[in-house]
Structure 1
Amino acid sequence: MARPKPSLRPSDPRFSCGPTKKRPGWEWGALAAAPLGRTHRGGVPKARLAEAIERTGAVLDIPSDYKVMIVPASDTGAMEGALWSLTGARPVDVFSCDEFGRRWLIDLRDELKPEGLSVHEAPYGQAPDYGRANPAHDLVFTWNATAAGVRIPDADWIAGDREGLTICDATSAAFAMDLPWDKLDVTTFSWQKCLGGEAQHGVAILSPRARQRLREHRPSWPVPRLLQWFEAGAEDAAIYAGSTINTPSLMCVEDYLDALKWAAREGGAEALIARTEANFAALAAWTESAPWIGFLAEDPSVRSTTSVTLTFTGEALAGLSEAERWSVSRRMGVLLEREEAAFDVIPHPKAPAGLRIWCGPTVDTDDVSALGPWLDWAYESALEELGIA
């Protein structure tokens, strides 16, 4: 018989890896000042966009010669804008270890097909061999593989005197992990990840070298308007002052501003990283005590602290097929949601069976600590309901 239900529930059961939990204390009133029903091209709406850009740079403490812009279509639009507009001038090394990194690999391999493309892949739970990066090539990589729970531990493998550009998908890392700006030329993210903003737009941060590439290079392939960044090569480009490629949602922008203001009150990126690491430590402590679950990433140095991905390790499931193991994940998800103890903790559909729990900065550590006993209960209950000894 499964253990009894724990007496203490997380005060907020939202542990989704995207869109993620909103900042502590968020209320609908945070959007009351949104300048809805107005054009984004001038006046207060454009000022809001410019403020979002300025606050992004301030919270992330980006170098003064880097530029921030808001682009269409979340992190996907930001990364594809970078690939379509910037690559083709040099050979490209692309590194991939999960479903999202694989999307950039497919864009390059199957669509753009730049000369001299090198592909470096790793299975879920493992990191590719970054030591194979060629400093003469453009490098495309994901700092935190959201679906695989694998992150890049440091940037020592990126040459300081590199000739190529580095294009980094940082959507589950920005605001939660220390990003080495001197090693990053293009950094993209969506504010629906670590800050819990409403999904729609992407952000791209460009180094002087990236802007120079935009001034000097035009790729051989046609670039759709939504992915054209060429005007951003100019130092005084309007996009850095709040003009956008397409019409933005001013409600989403207002929500992002609210999240940025909260981040500043907390103490900026350093404080958000500390919140994330405290959450991860709480979940890791429980994981080490649970005999039926373990980290998908066996190497501690590459384990994500935001999208923490776990896999079944106990003897009870050892002889089962992956489909049968997935039935346990799905049943656990149903039980936890029914009890309002945890929402959205099953892995990405293309990942191995197990659990995936968001520990980013908008989550409270007390909720992570309260979650562990519920996961134990849900696992035992799922095995009992499914008739697994």
Structure 2
Amino acid sequence: MTAQERPAVRPANPHFSSGPCAKRPGWALDNLKNAVLGRSHRSKLGKARLADAIEKTRAVLNVPADYKIGIVPASDTGAVEMALWSLLGARGVDMLAWESFGQGWVTDVAKQLKLENARILKADYGQLPDLGDVDFKNDVVFTWNGTTSGVRVPNGEWIADDREGLTICDATSAAFAQDLAWPKLDVVTFSWQKVLGGEAAHGVLILSPRAVERLESYTPAWPMPKIFRLTKGGKLIEGIFKGETINTPSMLCVEDYIDALDWADSIGGLKALIARADANTAVIAEWAERTPWVDFLAEKVETRSNTSVCLKVVDPKVAALSDDDQAAFAKKMSSLLESEGVAMDVNGYRDAPAGLRIWAGATIEVSDMQALMPWLDWAFAEALASLEAA
């Protein structure tokens, strides 16, 4: 294969990781100078900043006024686990899985909680399960956007208005970039390290009135770890949803999240955030359309993520390789991009099919995404030349 020249233009910001994600444009450490450091998070000032983060979350995401928002430990994983351990077991549950994190929740429910009335609806990477098969007499657990597959649900229309069970939605790479159907969702979780590029280790748990009713009327059969406890004496612990966190949060991370929320508000809120992610994804889609060696892992345009964009190499010489060799080829490409300082952390997720995963969320500048595309062609040509020479 003929060698390809290095592109002349480089992305100004090479951070395309799918989590933690790129910081917002214009971010600087000095923006966090008002962080409540060296003080208790339970001080009047500390609780005020936590409450401020909660209310700004409500404003940017358009969360209904009667939904509860809490900051919880252990990132999105912690928030999901709190929901699963606290709410499930009252009725049957449908578990939807089409990528690694959804499969992780299946494992927890089937092997840790050992719920015998769990139905598993699975699909391969690149696809969705048949959403028409979901039984809304049951609770339903699903990811809105599959971070490791680049496949998302198209909307919330498939969720029954007259559902009897609760819908528990892991929205960690969807919140702030996709329009969540709040009336259809009873529990929503995310981590602010994703779309807004906040610092890691903190999760957000959002509960509808129906979810609160379940918490106050149902006690799970299993022991509940302290870090998961959302009720006391059969009543919701309201303080969790007013900034009185279960454990000690990083107030520096909280301040960083507030900074990101203020930026989101300043550019036009959720509508603007979605538009930025859509514009970045459009750049990739236009490039992929004219590039024969690559395709989206998501098989349908309407289920294609606008944040965690997963790509597969479809060039016949690469597609003919073993799975391990295809993974090595993708790793070679990502290593070349990183060594050139143009794209960091874009190799596909370790459990996913071999390929690249490029974050296209709202903190990415479209000019950087445009600059990246020629570098993907260059990295492919370099990796293919090495393969042919071997």
TM-score when scaled to structure 2? 0.97
Name the stretch that deviates more: 92-101 or 322-331. 322-331
Whether the 8 Å CA contact 1:346–1:354 is kept in 2: the answer is yes
4+ runs of 1 displaced by more than 6 Å?
none
Could you say which residue in structure 1 is the equivalent of 2:52?
51
Cross-structure match for 1:119: 120
**2:130 is the alignment partner of 1:129:** yes
Which residue does 1:174 correspond to in 2?
A: 175
2:16 matches 1:9: no
1:376 corresponding residue in structure 2: 377
Deviations 1:151-205 (A, max 9, x none): 0001122110111000000000000000000000000000000000000110011
Q: How far apart are residue 145 of structure 1 and its match?
A: 0.4
Give the direction of change, closer, same or farther, for the CA distance of 1:369–1:231 in structure 2 (3 Å limit). Answer: farther
Q: Find the residue that maps to 1:356 and give its secondary structure.
A: strand
Q: Where in structure 2 are there 5+ consecutive unaligned residues?
A: none
Whether the 8 Å CA contact 1:96–1:102 is kept in 2: the answer is yes
Q: Hey, what does 1:310 align to over in structure 2?
A: 311
Q: Letter of the 2:26 partner, please give it.
A: G
1:357 alignment partner, SS class: strand
User: Cα distance 1:169–1:233, how it changes in 2: closer, same or farther (>3 A)?
Assistant: farther
1:266 matched residue in structure 2? 267
Match for 2:14: what amino acid?
A: P
CA distance in 1, matches of 2:188, 2:234: 15
**Shift of residue 114, structure 1, vs aligned partner:** 2.4
Q: Please say if residues 214 and 230 of structure 1, whose CA atoms lie closer than 8 Å, have aligned partners that are also in contact.
A: yes
1:375–1:233 Cα change, 3 Å: farther
Q: Paired residue for 2:146?
A: 145
Aligned position for 2:192: 191
RMSD (CA atoms): 1.4
Residue 233 of structure 1 deviates from its aligned partner by 7.6
| Residue of structure 1 equivalent to 2:218 | 217
How far apart, CA to CA, are the structure 2 residues paired with 1:10 and 1:18?
19
Residue by residue, what CA displacement relative to the aligned partner does 1:310-334 show, whole Å, maximum 9, x if unpaired? 1011122132111111111111111
Q: CA deviation at 1:387?
A: 3.0
Q: Distance in 1 between matches of 2:292 and 2:365?
A: 25
Per-residue deviation at 1:301?
Answer: 1.3
1:290/1:231 CA distance change after superposition, 3 Å: farther
In the other structure, the counterpart of 2:348 is: 347
- CA distance 1:254–1:25, change in 2 (3 Å): same
1:62 aligned partner, one-letter code: V
The equivalent of 2:368 in structure 1 is 367
Q: What residue in structure 1 maps to residue 203 of structure 2?
A: 202
Q: Would you say the 8 A contact 2:319–2:326 is kept in 1?
A: no
Which stretch of the first structure deviates more once superposed, 232-241 or 106-115? 232-241
Distance 2:135 2:145 in 1: 21
TM-score by length of 1: 0.98
- Structure 1 residue matching 2:169: 3-state secondary structure: strand
Letter in 1 for 2:280: N
In 2, the alpha carbon distance for the partners of 1:249 and 1:233 equals 29
Q: CA deviation at 1:36?
A: 1.0
> Is the CA contact 1:211–1:233 (under 8 Å) kept in the aligned structure 2?
no
Are 2:230 and 2:237, in contact at CA under 8 Å, matched by a contact in 1?
no
Deviations 1:14-55 (A, max 9, x none): 100000001001001012111111111122111110000000
What is the identity, as a one-letter code, of the residue corresponding to 2:131? Y
Deviations along 1:228-257, one digit per CA (max 9) or x if unpaired, are 222498577111111011111111101001
Shift of 1:388: 5.6
SS in structure 2 of the partner of residue 203 of structure 1? strand
Q: 1:244-295 CA deviation, whole Å, 9 max, x = no partner?
A: 1111111110100100000100111111001110111011101111110101
- Aligned-partner Cα distance in 2 for 1:119–1:198: 33
8 Å Cα contact 1:188/1:203 also seen in 2: yes
Distance across 2 between alignment mates of 1:147 and 1:249: 27
- Against the structure 1 CA distance between its residues 231 and 55, is the aligned structure 2 distance closer, same or farther, given a 3 Å change threshold? farther
| Aligned-partner residue type, residue 36 of structure 2 | P
Query: What corresponds to 1:238 in structure 2?
Result: 239
Return the offset for 1:386.
3.2
Residues 1:71 and 1:231: Cα distance change in structure 2 (over 3 Å): farther
Q: Does 1:85 align with 2:86?
A: yes
Percent identity over the alignment is: 54
Whole-Å separation in 2 of the counterparts to 1:363 and 1:102: 28
SS of the residue 1:387 aligns to: helix
CA distance in 2, matches of 1:231, 1:76: 23
Secondary structure in 1 aligned to 2:17?
coil
Q: Aligned partners of 1:209, 1:240: CA distance in 2, in Å? A: 16
CA distance in 1, matches of 2:86, 2:3: 55
Contact 1:139–1:167 under 8 Å retained in 2: yes
Shift of 1:304: 0.8
Counterpart CA distance in 1 for 2:234 and 2:157 is: 28
Structure 2: distance between partners of 1:309 and 1:90: 35
Tell whether the 8 Å contact from 2:187 to 2:211 is kept in structure 1 after alignment: yes
Query: Which segment is superposed worse, 234-243 or 177-186?
Result: 234-243
Q: Give the match's secondary structure for 1:254.
A: helix
The answer to whether the 8 A contact 2:147-2:173 is kept is yes
Q: CA 1:388–1:268 in 2, change beyond 3 Å: closer, same or farther?
A: farther
Matched residue type, 2:94 = D
Post-superposition Cα deviations, 1:299-356, rounded to whole Å, max 9, x if no partner, equal 1111111100010111221321111111111111111111111111110011111111
Give, in whole Å, the separation in 1 of the partners of 2:268 and 2:48.
24
Give the secondary-structure state (helix, strand or coil) at the position aligned to 1:139: strand
Counterparts of 2:103 and 2:232, CA distance in 1: 28
